[in-house]
Amino acid sequence: MSIAGSTAPEKVAALLNPRNVVIVGASDRPGNWAERAARNLRQYGFPGKIYPFNPTRDEIWGEKCYRQFEDLPEKPDHMLVVVPAKFVAATLRDGAKAGARSANVLSSGFEEVPGEENALLGRELKAVIEETGLAVCGPNCMGNFNSASRFFTLTDDRPHNFVEGPVALFGQSGGVVMAIKRGLEERGLIASAFVTSGNESGLNSADYIDYFAQQAHIKVLVCYLESIRNPEAFLAACRNARAAGKTVVVMKIGASDEGRAAAAAHTGAMAGAMDAFDAVAGAAGALRVRNLDDLVETVEYLAHAPLPRGNRISAMTFSGGFRGLLLDCAQLNGLKFPSLSEVTRDRLDKILGVGTILGNPLDAGFTALSSTKAYMDCVQVLVDDPEIDVVMLQEEVPRWPGSEKKEANLRAVNELAPRAGKPIVFISMVSYGQNDYSRNLRAQLPNLTFLQEPDRILRTMRGIVNYAVQAQAGHEAPPHRANAEGLAMLSQLARQTGPATLDEVTSKKLLRLYGIPTPREALAKTSDEAVAAAESIGYPVVAKIVSAAVPHKSDIGGVMVNLKTAAAVREAFAKISSVAASLPGQPAIDGILIAEMCTGGFECVMGATRDPDVGPVLLFGSGGVDLELVKDYALSAPGLDNKSALELIDRTRAGQITRGYRGRPALDRNGLAETLVGLSRLVIDGDELIESIDINPFLVSETGGVALDGLIVLRRN
């Protein structure tokens, strides 16, 4: 069967379940990657044939070596390519012609290395992959592993377990992927499969997510990302995985904030790389973790416990000191332990004795829980409380014999956990390692999750709770309604050449087409036109320089406000014209904008930016000249309706003000939400044409709102 035209999951299946392996670039140089991969394939019992391939050799490793694909006794299926970069494209083309379905290119020397020659080799490789339809992993990677097919092409010499565990692991750094695998194994979590995806010139992270989400035994998909090749496909794959009941856990680096600091629009500078990823990919179903230790904790939880219904956490400890640590770390991580209900406290008092409970987390004391029955009675009380979403219990996995009572408690909770209806999580004061005894005991407790160290525990729980709440909300973007007039203007802008930054007049014209209100205003070329505009609008007015080359007008003295007379307008026109004439490079000036002077509301900012990894991101927050200093904002994926727009507003301190803060009147929240919906529709209609949109300030009052300034930056090729 030809691989061309196959779906992404079918291609990944061909990659990880090959019929045979042809090692292209076989060499007897000591310690070379080809020989080590061949040894691992044989050592771990790969059932298919393994063929050394080298155009210059007839024998290698004491066996026949093949010079041409046509000489093989059967069609090649999987090519493990370890040849210099300049030979890779031809190798893939020849192998595909002979019938190969997949390839893993370990070779490096493509676009990951600076230089035009390397970039050219990268483009050639991508062209061959597209031409042949091969399922290609890499280049610049370390091989792959799949327990189900006994397939192991990594060059790693350490022992590996072939067990169909609940985790699939893939990432763009082979070294990091291997480190994650070892960290998970230390906790008894075995990966069923892992892929070192390298440059992802062929198959990418979205393809691996789509494949692993279809594997019934996989619960957690772990992904290490440096960049995202196809944002739309990645987000769609995350949504598919969530729909299948699988969680995509992401460790993400790259796309630094420094790159955004040079953005023309404030929105682009403010929307940090990780914030943008969390807003868009998080909404799609990706759970991002901060570091590799957090990743291990998160996978430990997801592999053994159900998602919580909410954020109400209870904990039972044997130590008042641990209780204090938990309370401090909860506050640091934005979580709270709510007070226990009166019914729960009464039931616990009957078990433990009045006065033993110190609060939540409660300190039960050693003597009060001297028996497994008393211990389990307390656990059952917490499980029964409908106002508790997660039950935490202090305990480590014993690492030596002699802790019979602890082990009995653990086994009893392991029996209770599947029918508890909520997660039960064991927690420890410090991080600790495993030994053979604890690993064996841990394997006998499949329904329990063990988290380590208070700060990491609560940080992990915050991420899981946020993910669970978002997943349960199940908010789907409303059907998009394209704006015919807006599309026509966008199409016209796309055909034009010139500056990527639109001037304020053009920017606001496009904003108005999407229902975003602006002040009454007119562009003046002369002082007489400026006065006429002011007379028509009504005093007081504002005068602003209009130029695509001057996006931030107030920075250069290009804005004058509260002009109450014709003389003041003429003076402002003259001063701004003088400022324009003195600007370096003499940028083109379109005129002076005379606008209605709007006062008496609250200044917000709203906008959008195109993140290189996840695509368009919307922003809302507190605005004005100090917005980058205040940094009160929230981000969202496009596709807002009134409900999700109001949710975005309420994730900021600005949202509190719109409700009527400290006796102030409530502002027009619905009108503000509708403006954000219009902005969302513009971003979707603009598709890849729009780089960023900045509306600052947007002045919202009790009766409406108005965009006092607007800046749109296009993506010019």
Q: What pLDDT band is residue 259 in, cutting at 50, 70 and 90?
A: very low
Residue 29 lies in a domain: yes
Which residue is listed with tokens 């975005």? Answer: 648
Number of other residues whose CB lies within 10 A of the CB of residue 520? 14
Asked if 235 and 343 sit in the same domain, the reply is no
How far, in Å, are 51, 74, 95, 110, 126 from residue 90 at the CA level? Answer: 19, 20, 8, 15, 12
Whether 325 and 276 map to the same domain: the answer is: no
pLDDT of res. 78: 98
Nearest to 296 by CA among 244, 218, 224: 224
Domain boundary pick from 420, 450, 473: 473
Where is the domain boundary, 140, 169, 194? 140
Q: pLDDT tens for residues 119-138?
A: 999 999 999 999 999 999 99
- Residue 261 clears pLDDT 50, i.e. is over it: no
Same domain, 88 and 167: no
Provide the number of structural domains found in the chain.
Answer: 3
Work out the end-to-end distance of the chain between its first and last CA atoms, rounded to an integer number of angstroms: 40
Q: Are residues 59 and 170 in the same domain?
A: no
Cβ proximity of 175 and 182 under 8 Å: no
pLDDT at 263: 36
Q: pLDDT tens digit string along 613-650?
A: 899 999 999 987 656 666 889 999 999 999 999 999 99
Region 69-90: what's the mean pLDDT?
97
Same-domain pairing of 133 and 188: no
Q: Could you tell me if residue 529 is inside a domain?
A: no
Residue 395 within any structural domain of the chain: yes
Q: Is the pLDDT of residue 498 over 50?
A: yes
H or E segment and range at residue 620: strand 615-622
Residues 9 and 82 in one domain: yes
pLDDT attached to residue 183: 93
Residue 649: inside a domain: no
Choice among 85-94, 226-235, 473-482 with the minimum mean pLDDT: 473-482
> What are the residues whose beta carbons fall under 8 Å from the beta carbon of 603, sequence distance 6 or more?
622, 623, 624, 696, 697, 698, 699
Which pair of structure tokens corresponds to residue 512?
A: 């108005």
Query: Does residue 74 lie within any of the structural domains?
Result: yes
The residue segments making up the domain with residue 114 are 1-140
What are 362's two structure tokens?
């409660």
- Say if CB 268 and CB 260 are below 8 A apart: yes
pLDDT band at residue 354, thresholds of 50, 70 and 90?
Answer: low
Give bridge partners of residue 171 from the DSSP assignment: 196, 224
Same domain, 229 and 363: no
> Cβ distance 462 to 301 under 8 Å?
no
Tens-digit pLDDT profile for residues 406-442: 999 999 999 999 999 999 999 999 999 999 999 999 9
DSSP 89-137: HHHHHHHHHHT--EEEE----STTSSSHHHHHHHHHHHHHHHHH--EEE
Of the candidates 178, 180, 238, the one whose C-alpha atom is nearest the C-alpha of residue 204 is 238
Q: Residue 714 and residue 500: Cα distance in Å, rounded?
A: 5
Q: Residues 469, 433: one domain?
A: yes
List b or e across 635-672, with b for residues whose CB sees 16 or more CB atoms inside 10 angstroms.
bbbbbbbeebbbbbbebbebbebbeeeeeeeebbbebb
Q: Crossing angle of helices 273-284/231-243, nearest 10°? A: 40
pLDDT at 210: 97
Domain check: are 104 and 230 in the same one? no
pTM for this entry = 0.89
pLDDT in tens, 175-227: 999 999 999 999 999 999 999 999 999 999 999 999 999 999 999 999 999 88
224 and 134 in one domain? no
CATH number, position 409: 3.40.50.261
Mean pLDDT of the residues in the chain: 91
Residues 6 or more apart in contact with residue 492 via CB below 8 angstroms: none
**With 60 as the cut, is the pLDDT of residue 271 above it?**
no
Do 315 and 254 belong together in one domain? no
Supply the pLDDT for residue 7: 93
Rounded Cα–Cα distance for residues 321 and 429 (Å): 10
